[in-house]
Amino acid sequence: MHITGKCFSQMIAQQKIYNGKLYFGDKMLCNLSQYLA
């Protein structure tokens, strides 16, 4: 599965801020957006 640089950077930033709590959910949304795009 490919992840865009923007999406990946956002996931990393959110993982740092929220200690990973929202990281996995946002990763799923990011992956879903890749399929819908």
2-27 pLDDT tens trace: 555 566 666 565 555 555 454 555 56
- Three-class secondary structure of residue 22 per DSSP: coil
Give residue 32's pLDDT band: very low, low, confident or very high (50, 70, 90).
low
- Kindly report the number of other CB atoms within 10 A of residue 11's CB atom: 19
Show the DSSP H helices in 1-37 as ranges: 5-18, 23-36
Query: What helix, strand, coil percent values describe the chain, rounded to 5?
Result: 75, 0, 25
Q: What angle do CA 5, 31, 27 make, to 5 degrees?
A: 75
Tokens matching residue 7: 């999406």
